[in-house]
Structure 1
Amino acid sequence: MAAAATVVGLGGGAEKQHAECLPTSCSKHHSPKIRFPFRLRGHHPKNCGYPGFDLSCTPHSEYPVLELPFSVNVLVKNIDYTSQTIYISDPHGCFPRQLPNLNLSASPFQLLSNYDYYSDLSFINCSQTQDQIWIYRYRYQIACLSDESHQVYAIDSMSLPDISCTKMYNMSLPSEIFGYSYGPITFDHLRLNWSKPECGKCEARGKNCRFKNNNSSSTSKSQLLFNGSTECFDKPSMGAVLGPTFLLVVVIAIYHVYRSNKMKKADQVKIDKFLEDYKALKPARYSYADIKKITNQFQDKVGQGGYGIVYKGKLSNDVHVAVKILNNVKGNGDEFINEVQTMGRIHHINVVRLVGYCADGFRRALLYEFLLNNSLEKFISTDKEKNSLGWEKLHDIALGIAKGIEYLHLGCDQRILHFDIKPHNVLLDNKFTPKISDFGLAKLCSKEQSAVSMTTARGTVGYIAPEVFSRNFGNVSYKSDVYSFGMLLLDMVGGRQNTVAQNTSECYFPEWIYKRLDQGEDLGIQIEVDGDAKIIRKLTIVGLWCIQWYPVDRPSMKVVVQMLEGDGDTLTVPHSPFASTNPMPTRGTTGGRTFNSELEVISESE
């Protein structure tokens, strides 16, 4: 990151303690100067900028990038510090694509209008065969979202005609971005302004702004970031800065030249990965007073577990969150902060998003996105609920869960083992997209090593892998999550029938279903749609592969995803996964693929 920034100009203060906050920019050309209340990540310390005003340089643009809620990244083309206004554009030239995710209520910025007039618009998707009469009266064409088969328009919500187009979303936007005539619009001149911190008056008087008393040794950085007020200070003269500032610039320049000459290709890859990671939304910090306001004084309780109580809350009229108030918090908070930082880097469609956190004294809380359809357990507990979804949707849910676990195992810098995969911990959004939740038992592990150290078993009875109870079955590893996922798949097929009556005896359901498959018998599950039987058989076979008693015989989640994405015709029933019928370890294959191999060594990160 530092290599992408070039120190330019003066104005950081001649004092030694202000040298670290000197203005900078992402290029020598048209890029705006970055100074308080903004700061450049990787170049300025946190006390150089106000919370929410972090900018990043990228190798793809001379303009800095600002992260807005939620996962909306914009280029900052210009900063007017006097009027407290920034001019933004979309990095990919299609700002409307990001609009559904934009929620400025969780940021210090607001959309700015010259005339303080905003239009309430409906974005609609129409085919080319639609009647065109109304188009020239009501619409603005969104060219970057349109193609040869359909057109996307922004229409005044109050004048929406009776048409058969598909409504995408609503948005209130400044009226002047549409110009004075109807036609294609590009959203390339949006402006945002901020009200706090109030530094515009300082700038108007020819002064700069900074945290008040930021040279006090008794004031911590966290106090400055979250409680500090601001003050004006004089810009230094040319003579006052040329000494230490010039020396600092020279040292930095020499260091950059040296580093550029010595940097290997692998180092550049690491920098690119770092920049990519920082494009993701980081969780926001809230005070306990904020939490009480968000939850309306803890009025709407939606759940309770061993780790705390969950309340429904809202950040704005459109953004609802699930707020988990933690109890039994140990230590001085370092482990909690580390967990928040780790979860803040997890951004996957099949993992619940961490929106924010509270670490206010001894009080701890986590804020997650609120999911309307509750947990998967609700929809698979009875045949009636299961039939309401249909087997094709259940298959899509199973595949989404598998991709989420695969991401936890392979998609992060460190492997994340969940250790509590079960239907209760899979939440569904309004489109029934599955999202893995509840990381209370999770462990961070290195990808390069092989066994996880555990002093006690963890997880939920019925989903815990055998090796978690006894090392006679193998080492605890990422394959333990594979076993839990296999039990979840069999739950989806059988509705958690722990025992199944068969003649006058009862047997364990996974063992019963294995015997039926192995003998070519019908599973006795109601079929309503052609193709359901094929889906049920696929889910069952994949589940049986995943619950092999010995970890070495289970597939990785990457292979599980491939099996679920396939048509299922090449899947073969594995050897019996039950010790009572097959106590010796086996090597499983399907379609000629050997599942394993030696387990990678995994070490726990404390």
Structure 2
Amino acid sequence: MPKSKAKLPLFGFMVAFALFLILFPAACLATRHRHEDCGFAFCGNVNISYPFRLKTQPRHCGYHKLELECENNNRTTLVAKNGKFSVQEIFYENYTMRVIDASLDRDDCNSFPLSSLVSYVGCDFLFYDFVSSPGISFMYVVNCTKPMKSSIYVEASRCTNKSNSSSSPSSYFYFLDINTPPSDFDQSCPVEAQIPITVNSISGMSTLEIYKNLSKGILLSWEYYNGTCSYKASLQDVLDLVRYGLTIYLQSFLNFFLHGPKITSDLTYKRTYILCLGATGGVILLRTLIGVLCLLALVMYKWRKRHLSADDAIEEFLKGQTNLAPIRYSFKEIKKMTKNFKDKLGEGGYGSVFKGKLRSGHHVAIKLLGKSKGNGQDFINEVASIGRIHHVNVAKLIGFCVEGSKQALVYDFMVNGSLDKIIFSEENKNTLGWKKMFDIALGVARGIDYLHQGCDMQILHFDIKPHNILLDENFNPKVSDFGLAKLYSVEDSIVSLTAARGTIGYIAPELVYKNIGGISYKADVYSFGMLLMEMIGRRRNLNAFADHSSQIYFPSWIYDRLDRGEDIELGDISDGEKIMVRKMVVVAFWCIQLMPADRPSMSKVLKMLETDVELLEMPPKPFYQLPLETSSEIHGCENPIDEPTLSMHADYIEEA
């Protein structure tokens, strides 16, 4: 027995040594069990189970970002980064949940919905966005320092009895439609929150009606995500991980040493010692092998992540973006969404577009980019420009993919395709009446005006054309395809470009002819004017196969008719429709003026479209002639250039 006691420190040393060697593989294996399905729990009527967990449940029973609280045993709440939401229902079969702002559960009539949800990514999990459905939009909650008398500011307080106190409140909260032009924003009313609501617009709604809609709640969708894990472990997480691994192996060793065979002799001791040594060595070898494999997997993952994209410019850009709303998908996920690119919607110079479907059932259009231009600049332009904004008349970028040369953009699917299929197709050109065409023009103008004035940076599109105007199920327009877009400070009235950009027939002349004027947001105004002309004529502006030679260039032909006092040939339409069309024509001619300074801003364009046609003055004929120095500089002559010549010359330069 003395001999056995003398050997005990050796056993202790071996155990400590074994634990030291296997600590890394233990921790590695423990990570596999970080998140487990621990059954379900109820808070009121809400069934809470994996991947969600209650705050009172163990940390491994759900995801860190999806922790719910049960208040007073009957109210389930989700605490987001920018607010608190009350969970009404969770639909595990289609990965959605219905929530309402927590303030709506309170009887306090002076509590306002101020909570906002932002996309976030967790390990293997993505909780990303509102479920797109017909009729969902957003509204602003503004906090004014003075009472607002305008009807566009809807009272946000639910109080029916006003206080009789002689002192005036310091804050006045109002609801404001998200489509409100920037010019109507009062400087004394900063935006407190941007809230989703299940109506197209709150215009004309009362406070009670707005709260009734808010009380219906909104659907949120989550997706399982196999991309990069952005969850950063805290010190407590590391300690939990180590404790988990140690517990597993300590129990095994302690059971062996405490409940193993008794040592009755030196021979028995030696046999037990050899057996224990062999077992310990085998465990060490096995766990070390697993640890090495885990280490190799980690190294390979890091290497793959570092070399995920061959385009360093794109990766550098993405690393610098910390507040992007779009999701980064893997190419494998893109193939799964499109069923291996089965349903092709269209093709162009940028690549091909395929119809896809998210796990939530939401349909999307996936643009698979071809060879990237300018070191990935077209991809960067698209993600940077619309990756942070949300507007009813701007196409929504849901996600993107970058894996080496494979690049894709994921958009909301637009059932009615693009505007060019409506106005240029013989079978479809009479699908929409003039009232709807006028509404489309208004929507496009609002979208462009938002890009110019509604964001922290002004976004110049540089490629406004019918092909890039998408139509949803109600033919509401969405400005899309920001591959040529550029971001500038709102302080920059004139911007710099190294080369002309745009599409044949829509490019503004100042992008080609330097002496006409500086490049600014007026370039988009020009393109919008050309778009309006094609909507009016329901044909391309330049058509060499027109019935008469005078109609080859539609804007020139239509201007001459109006100048002679003749009506536009539009068939059998009502007087009200004639007024709308004439208004579109006059606005279009103002937009396509040769000199940028003569064109209105998009805010002014909106006001012109919404005013009486009698108040609109007919502008001079566009492109009547170029300034003398510009003509000489480009063509080496002093002859004036008419509009078709200038337009075709600009297009020729763009193609070259």
TM-score by length of 1: 0.54
Gaps of 5+ in 1: 1-36, 39-48, 56-62, 68-72, 79-85, 111-122, 124-143, 145-167, 170-183, 228-276, 586-606
Partners of 2:461 and 2:243 lie apart in 1 by 43
Aligned equivalent of 1:75: 84
1:533 Cα deviation after fit? 0.6
Aligned equivalent of 2:466: 423
Deviations 1:441-489 (A, max 9, x none): 1111222124332233211111111111111211121101100000110
Are 1:293 and 2:354 counterparts? Answer: no
Counterpart contact for 1:52–1:108, Cα < 8 Å: no
Aligned equivalent of 2:604: 559
Of the three residues 391, 398, 402, the one matched with 2:434 is 391
Counterpart contact for 1:511–1:578, Cα < 8 Å: no
SS at match of 2:526: helix
Aligned equivalent of 2:569: 524
Deviations 1:99-149 (A, max 9, x none): xx9999997569xxxxxxxxxxxx9xxxxxxxxxxxxxxxxxxxx9xxxxx
Of the three residues 75, 80, 92, the one matched with 1:66 is 80
Aligned equivalent of 2:367: 324
1:464-475 equivalence runs, <5 A? 464-475=507-518
Aligned equivalent of 2:529: 486
Q: Identify if the C-alpha distance between structure 1 residues 539 and 65 changes in structure 2 by more than 3 Å, giving closer, same or farther.
A: farther
Are 1:354 and 2:397 counterparts? Answer: yes
Aligned equivalent of 1:546: 591
1:362 Cα deviation after fit? 3.2
Partners of 1:346 and 1:422 lie apart in 2 by 21
Counterpart contact for 1:527–1:533, Cα < 8 Å: no
Are 1:93 and 2:107 counterparts? Answer: no
1:275-286 equivalence runs, <5 A? 282-286=325-329
Of the three residues 597, 620, 631, the one matched with 1:575 is 620
SS at match of 1:435: strand
Counterpart contact for 2:85–2:102, Cα < 8 Å: no
Partners of 2:379 and 2:417 lie apart in 1 by 26
Residue identity opposite 1:321 in structure 2: V
Q: Identify if the C-alpha distance between structure 1 residues 191 and 287 changes in structure 2 by more than 3 Å, giving closer, same or farther.
A: closer
Aligned equivalent of 2:39: none
Residue identity opposite 2:555 in structure 1: P
Are 1:453 and 2:462 counterparts? Answer: no
Residue identity opposite 1:452 in structure 2: V
Are 1:410 and 2:453 counterparts? Answer: yes
Residue identity opposite 1:570 in structure 2: L
Residue identity opposite 1:373 in structure 2: N
Q: Identify if the C-alpha distance between structure 1 residues 399 and 301 changes in structure 2 by more than 3 Å, giving closer, same or farther.
A: same
Partners of 1:210 and 1:402 lie apart in 2 by 60
Gaps of 5+ in 2: 1-50, 53-61, 69-76, 88-96, 107-112, 129-134, 136-155, 157-197, 200-212, 246-290, 307-320, 631-656
Q: When you count strand as a share of all residues, which structure comes out higher?
A: 1
Partners of 2:553 and 2:375 lie apart in 1 by 45
Counterpart contact for 1:75–1:88, Cα < 8 Å: no
Aligned equivalent of 1:377: 420
1:227-246 equivalence runs, <5 A? none
Counterpart contact for 1:203–1:209, Cα < 8 Å: no
Partners of 2:514 and 2:606 lie apart in 1 by 27
Aligned equivalent of 2:484: 441
Partners of 1:349 and 1:189 lie apart in 2 by 17
1:410 Cα deviation after fit? 0.8
1:510 Cα deviation after fit? 0.4
Q: Identify if the C-alpha distance between structure 1 residues 415 and 53 changes in structure 2 by more than 3 Å, giving closer, same or farther.
A: farther
Partners of 2:368 and 2:525 lie apart in 1 by 29
1:93 Cα deviation after fit? 2.4
Partners of 1:191 and 1:457 lie apart in 2 by 42
Partners of 1:397 and 1:190 lie apart in 2 by 28
Q: Identify if the C-alpha distance between structure 1 residues 559 and 88 changes in structure 2 by more than 3 Å, giving closer, same or farther.
A: closer
Q: When you count helix as a share of all residues, which structure comes out higher?
A: 2
Which of structures 1 and 2 has the bigger CA Rg?
A: 2
Q: Identify if the C-alpha distance between structure 1 residues 94 and 304 changes in structure 2 by more than 3 Å, giving closer, same or farther.
A: farther
Partners of 1:192 and 1:379 lie apart in 2 by 33
The CA RMSD over aligned residues, in Å, is: 5.4
Partners of 2:371 and 2:419 lie apart in 1 by 27
Partners of 2:333 and 2:618 lie apart in 1 by 54
Q: Identify if the C-alpha distance between structure 1 residues 357 and 533 changes in structure 2 by more than 3 Å, giving closer, same or farther.
A: same
1:363 Cα deviation after fit? 2.0
Aligned equivalent of 1:81: none
Partners of 1:488 and 1:89 lie apart in 2 by 41
1:420 Cα deviation after fit? 0.8
1:53 Cα deviation after fit? 6.1
Deviations 1:311-335 (A, max 9, x none): 1111036311111112223688798
Deviations 1:514-558 (A, max 9, x none): 121222211111133341111110000000000001100000000
1:16-55 equivalence runs, <5 A? none
Partners of 1:394 and 1:195 lie apart in 2 by 41
1:361 Cα deviation after fit? 3.2
Counterpart contact for 2:345–2:354, Cα < 8 Å: yes
Counterpart contact for 1:89–1:190, Cα < 8 Å: no
Residue identity opposite 2:566 in structure 1: E
TM-score by length of 2: 0.50
Partners of 1:393 and 1:52 lie apart in 2 by 44
SS at match of 1:385: coil
Counterpart contact for 2:381–2:486, Cα < 8 Å: no
Aligned equivalent of 1:5: none
Counterpart contact for 2:381–2:482, Cα < 8 Å: no
Counterpart contact for 2:118–2:325, Cα < 8 Å: no
Counterpart contact for 1:50–1:225, Cα < 8 Å: no
Partners of 2:223 and 2:464 lie apart in 1 by 43
Aligned equivalent of 1:238: none
SS at match of 1:569: helix
Residue identity opposite 1:544 in structure 2: F
SS at match of 2:365: strand
1:501 Cα deviation after fit? 6.3
Q: Identify if the C-alpha distance between structure 1 residues 461 and 50 changes in structure 2 by more than 3 Å, giving closer, same or farther.
A: farther
Partners of 1:436 and 1:397 lie apart in 2 by 11
Count of matched residue pairs? 395
